[in-house]
Amino acid sequence: MFPRHLPRVAALFDIPDDELTEQASRAASSVQRLADLWARNGTADAAVLRSLRSIAKRHAVKMPDKAGLQQRVNRMADAGWWRRALRKRFQAVELHQIQAGAVHRQASPYVSAKALRRHERNAARLEQQMAGLEAVNQATGEAIHMPELIDASLSNPAHRRRALMARIKGIEASANAKGHAALFLTLTCPSCMHPRHFSGARNDRYDGTRPNLAQRYLRWVWSKAMRRAEHLGLTAYGLRVVEPHHDACPHWHMLVFTPADQAEAFANNLRAYALAVAPDEPGAAEHRFTVERIDPAKGSAVGYVAKYVSKAIDGEGVDGDSESTGDGRSTARRQIAWARTWSIRQFQFFGVPPITPTRELYRVAGETLPGHALRELHSACKANDYAAWLATVEVHGLSFRVDYSEQPSTRYRDETTKAIQGLRIQGGDLGGVLQLTTRCDTWRIQPRAKAGADSSQCEGASPAPDAPWTRFNNSASLDFKGLFPDALPADVEGFEGVVDAGAVCGKRPAPGTATRCRTRPGNSQARSLSAPGADARSSNATAQGGRPC
């Protein structure tokens, strides 16, 4: 589907960052003025909610993902929330670039030149902002420049890549110790989701699917297959990496470990769901889903994914890229810009314990920990040995729950935020539940005092004053005319619903492609389809189209 208003909408949304910031401030101030009016007049909650939804629709942004009405009002009266929401509209600009032929191997692989420039400007802006901030320990007064903290954390691409590789290496070592098989799987989308051929020529089957909806389709295939695998008693764990084809359509590479006698059944199960949509199109059987068994005698499983991990982070050790003509670092820049543009998570571990307890235990001193099992686990943390961590957790039957503390929000009035405080640990030789505090200090981020500034200037810059809850004088008059000057014209508002409409590949999906479907506007019917291989159930909505959720 090619939305009739896409070129016009893309032109409306393609604005410089300073103009976007101004629009965000105007929208937030207008909502705040309305909120004050609603409070004075005692407006019913239902009427307030209708107004908020209308405002969001007129600006083509999504409502805040919060249940409480006051939480929604707080966010829509905040300029920071509006900046983030308005930046999501750049997806329409990029979709227009894709459909206009500006994104493919022969032009600009993965992302358009426009989106890449915007991403790099945002990165430079953020770096400049961080350079003017420092973190101050509220107990000791110690101040650390923010770029130093960023460089020492997982925000540093090199640290993030090493941490991922260490975890993958540990999972592989644990799998080898159990005699499990390793599979390298690749999952791609049907041809209707690919805008361009490798030559750059237009794909006549392309139905207008944007990359984040193609990613949603892949997630759906994976979740259905994993649910079926669980029902069949199949066990699998590992890592999936998402990267784009040259035309921005996503595909997945998965490193999967499974008991050797379950490997074939797991692969066949996933293949059935991968081929549920358009299974007979040319090349589907050969390219839609591929399986490669990893022979430990020929190489490690880590080696299979190392290139894809590096390409998605910093390009270290990657000489070239088959989907583009650039080197590893150029490829990484483009892939990160693609992921940021479409809000796509690049890495996801599955079937293994969460990493937060590992990181939290690393923060404490080992000699203060009770019990042999916990000290053994701490030693594995400090040695960066994730295989030893997994083995110790399994042998001693340790379980973790992250503890959070609630603090008053510094951004939203009458709200609290959660911060990690420590861990609740059970099992081993602990003799009960251990409540372990891992974070004792409180830090405040504030503007950094300029070098050479006198004491009065330093006093004025630190600490930063709290932002006011109200952005204008409460006695200011309310002018309803022009209250939202940046709202979209009525004939193009609500752009999100227009783009999401349509069938997968313009066809009725094979049985098993959906349990809940998004239908075209005005069509309230939905389909209910069974697992691959089952009989199809007819539905009028099938012909109308829909997309797997």
Euclidean distance between CA atoms 491 and 502, whole angstroms: 19
Give the C-alpha distances (Å, rounded to integers) separating 417 from 87, 405, 420.
24, 8, 10
Q: HEC string of 461-494?
A: HCCCCCCCCCCCCCCCCCCCCCCCCCCCCCCCCC
DSSP letters for 366-432? GGG--SHHHHHHHHHHHTT-HHHHHHHHHHHT-EEEEEEEEEE-SSSTT-EEEEEEEEEEESTTS-S
Residues assigned a catalytic role: 304, 308
Reduced to 3 states, what is the DSSP secondary structure of residue 243?
A: strand
Euclidean distance between CA atoms 95 and 485, whole angstroms: 25
Tokens 């040995």 belong to residue? 385
Contact 496, 62 (CB under 8 A): yes
Euclidean distance between CA atoms 302 and 184, whole angstroms: 10
For residue 122, what are its two tokens? Answer: 């945002």
- Quote the distance between the C-alpha of residue 7 and its chain's center: 27
- 49-71 burial, b at 16+ Cβ within 10 Å, e below that, comes to eebbeebbbbbbbeebeeeeeee
Q: First and final CA of the chain: distance in angstroms?
A: 18
Reduced to 3 states, what is the DSSP secondary structure of residue 260?
A: helix
DSSP letters for 280-339? TSTTIIIIIEEEEE--TTT--HHHHHHHHHHHTTT-TT----TTSSS-HHHHHHHHHHHH
